[in-house]
Structure 1
Amino acid sequence: MQRIFFEIQIDAPNERVWDVLWSDITYRQWTTAFTEGSFYQGTFEEGSIMKFFDPNNNGMYSRVEKNIPHKELKLLHLGEIYDGVEAPQDWGEATEAYILEETETGTILKIEIQTPEEFKSFFEEKFPVALGIVKNLSEIQL
């Protein structure tokens, strides 16, 4: 399992950054960095299952391990989805955490990922682009 970290300073309140991350419309915008047409189904309540899709109904499903609104969201990845059908995977503790720290000038968004080696380069390539989009969306119209 590989641990990787990303961090970005955003000149917007943590509530605004949170809304950009998890509101349906803006989620679809920043996740274009990974796959154009990405969307999710489910709720972010702790213990619930979230499904993350591409336009072809492929993707992955995860359990919400922690949700402290405007502060932290942690997902445990459980498996992949092919043509809408869940396929459990043995990824162990594959997690993705979004941590928002309030600062005097805005928010520091930290991403902490535990991932199998096979996905590490994908995240290292795509997450900086995604975070740039989150920053832009959060800072506009303030």
Structure 2
Amino acid sequence: MKKLEFTIEINASKENVWDALWIDENYRNWTSVFHEGSYYESDLAEGSEILFLGPEKSGMFAVIQKMVLFEKMYFLHQGEILNGEKQEGTFGENAIEQYDLAEKDGKTELSVTLNAPEEYMSYFVNTFPKALEKVKEISEK
């Protein structure tokens, strides 16, 4: 696993950015950059499970380690989902994905930190900035 960090400044309140990230319709919009038809199933409460899925019912599952409304959403990935079936332990112990929002003077800095397997490094380096541009676009509407 290798740590990646992405940051973008958005001309919107942290509440707008949060909604751009986690309201279902918006989530489906910005994550389409990764995989068309992506969605999640969860109540987004700290300690809850979250399923990150595509139209074929495959994806990943994680636990929400930390959730501070309008500020932090941290996931610890547990494994993959293939054809609707969980594949336990398919990720290492440090498979994190963290979203941090900090607002100052009407602008919000969105930082994303994740640990990615070596084989996915170039994919995330090329794709995550495009996804964050979509979050910015949604937030600034």
TM more than 0.5: yes
Cα shift at 1:78: 0.5
TM-score by length of 1: 0.95
Cα shift at 1:90: 3.8
Cα shift at 1:105: 3.2
**Letter of the structure 2 residue corresponding to residue 32 of structure 1:** S
Write the distance in 1 (CA, Å) between the matches of 2:91 and 2:25. Answer: 31
Aligned residues: percent identity? 39
2:36 is equivalent to residue 36 of structure 1: yes
User: Aligned to 1:63, what secondary structure does the other structure show?
Assistant: strand
Q: 1:7 maps to which residue?
A: 7
Structure 2: tracts of 5 or more residues without a match:
none
**Letter of the structure 2 residue corresponding to residue 130 of structure 1:** A
CA contact (8 A) 2:16 2:139 kept: yes
Q: Measured at CA, do residues 90 and 10 of structure 1 come closer, stay the same or move farther in structure 2, by a change above 3 Å?
A: closer
Write the distance in 2 (CA, Å) between the matches of 1:7 and 1:90. Answer: 24
Write the distance in 1 (CA, Å) between the matches of 2:3 and 2:132. Answer: 18
String of CA shifts for 1:27-73, please: whole Å, max 9, x gaps. Answer: 00000110000011111111111001111111000000000010010
CA contact (8 A) 2:77 2:91 kept: no
Structure 1: tracts of 5 or more residues without a match:
none
Q: CA RMSD in A?
A: 0.9
